[in-house]
Chain A
Amino acid sequence: MANLFSNIFKSNKQLSTEQLIAKKTFLSFFVFFMMMGVAVIGWKWLRRQPVESGKTSAPIRKILNTNEEIFDGLVSDKRLTKEYPVSLAANPARVNGNIGLKTVLDSNWAMNVIKANGDTLKIKMDDIKKLPKTEIVFNFKCIEGWSQITHWGGVRFSEFMMAYGLSDEMMMKYLGLRTPDKEYYVGIDMPSAMHPQTLLCYELNDKPLPLNQGFPLRLIIPVKYGVKSLKRIGDMYFSQQRTPDYWADKFGYDYFSGL
């Protein structure tokens, strides 16, 4: 062993083949274990970082935000979710959550649209149904990993915004939605909200939405995971900053959650 140590500092030419094998083996394994140590320390450092929202730490969140910038930039009116024939739509559609739906629905329901200037529009279901109806049959994708072809009807979010003259609001960066009881809320970037397949939805399989699917009005946003398709819209508002998001804020899910 002492020989090996002194041999490390000798030039290869001075060494016999046996000594050279021992020297090279020792040095290689030394570097190998050093790098393993670096990897373990790096991993432990990453796991030790304080968590911000839910379960993600700052370094992880930074990279996820970069991912968002890369893939958010791809969202365009021309890239559409694949649509399917109505015959393939599931009936009944899967129900997967009731956060925000636990209180009794107010019989006088109206959607509050809080404008940029602070005014609030109260919009009734009858008014929304006067706008042109759009239907979509697409593969609804849950963040859990399941997906299901479903058939929805409603008014395009972009057409709703035009119809109510919300052009200042359209220019803002983020849309916020929350349920009447404020228990569930989502934040959505405006380009995704204005995507032509995003609906303020009031029909499922040609019938009014069931209560557990968000009656009377919900969001359907095919360019994102289902967590963003909020059921039973109470308030709609706009912001230049990220609007609160239930799953992102509480549990560390990706804010963008784009597909």
Chain B
Amino acid sequence: MKKIVKKHPLAIRWFHWINFPILGVMIWSGLLIYWANDVYRIGFGDTTMLKFFPDTFYQALNIPSRLSEGMAYHFVFMWLFFLNGIAYVLYTIFSGEWRYLAPEKKSFKEAWYVLLHDLHVRKTKPAITGKYNAAQRIAYSAIIVMGIGSILTGLAIYKPVQLGWLCALMGGYKMARILHFALTIGYVLFFLIHVIQVAMAGWNNFRGMITGFEVKKIKDSGDDVKTTNNP
């Protein structure tokens, strides 16, 4: 027998899917801006291991010479990113959903088990407390902290004089720009892992983010025989 089990509230599904294209526009317009002074790299001394970004990357995405357009879109869509993010955070606080998201004491240790399990090193299935496992709790809380970080570092480089105190707090103008960029790389990595995990977790879990429910198979006695692990 099958059973419908409620998982994601409607509000969270909306915030999630609204954020997706908005963050996309922010990253795209951010690239248009970054191109004009693309000085970051990973390396040591004069040796560059990874340049942000290679010319082929810029050409492929049609990035060059669009600074003013990038700034215009960035400073329009920043409002949507900000408002949707604030609404999401306030909703999780007032609905009590934060309880499912906030890491617990044991989460930091258990997150390793999740990692080992997902890499097929460890066989034991990690525990899900509430809606998410330990690694999810850490990841989904970290992404909120990152969002706040993007807004603060973004404001610091947007108005470094009028918000001089904030610029100083973010480590100064140059450091704030580095942090703002690094956070964006963080989103891209988060996105990649997130999508892989969703694909691995399967249809039932993915459908949950759209319909709000998951389907569980139960024996006639009513005991769960299968629960899903989900990103």
Contact = CB atoms under 8 A, between A and B. Distances in A.
Interface stretch (B116-124, B127-135, B158-166): B158-166
B34 A145 contact: yes
Interface in B11-36: 17, 21, 33-34, 36
Nearest to B37: A145
Interface size class of B (residues with CB under 8 A): 35 or more
Nearest to B177: A145
Contacts of B17: 32, 35
B219 interface: no
A144 B73 contact: no
A144 B36 contact: yes
Interface string B156-195: 0001111010011000011001000000000000000000
Contacts of A5: none
B211 A24 contact: yes
A56 B69 contact: yes
A22 to B, nearest CB: 11
B207 interface: yes
Contact of A79 (B1, B66, B162, B211): B162
Nearest to B162: A74
Nearest to A53: B68
Q: Which of A67, A80, A142, A259 has the most CB of B within 10 A?
A: A259
B162 A144 contact: no
Given A21-B2, A60-B73, A147-B173, A223 B215 contact: no
Main secondary structure of the interface of A (DSSP, over half): mixed
A209 B50 CA distance: 39
A146 interface: yes
Interface in A59-83: 60-61, 63-64, 67, 71, 74-75, 79-82
B68 A54 contact: yes
A39 interface: yes
A56 B161 contact: no
B126 to A, nearest CB: 27
Contact of A74 (B34, B75, B159): B159
Interface in A70-102: 71, 74-75, 79-82
A20 B2 CA distance: 11
A121 interface: no
Contacts of B162: 71, 74-75, 79, 258-259
Contacts of A25: 207, 211
Interface of A: 17-18, 20-21, 24-25, 28-29, 32, 35, 39, 43, 54-56, 60-61, 63-64, 67, 71, 74-75, 79-82, 139, 141-147, 222-223, 247, 251-254, 258-259
Interface of B: 1-4, 17, 21, 33-34, 36-37, 39, 66-69, 71-73, 75-76, 79, 159-162, 164, 167-168, 173-174, 177, 207, 210-213, 215
Give the 6 A-B residue pairs with the shortest CB-CB distance, closest first: A145-B37, A28-B211, A144-B36, A74-B162, A55-B69, A259-B161
Given A80-B164, A247-B68, 8 more contacts: A21-B4, A32-B210, A56-B69, A81-B164, A139-B173, A145-B33, A145-B177, A252-B69
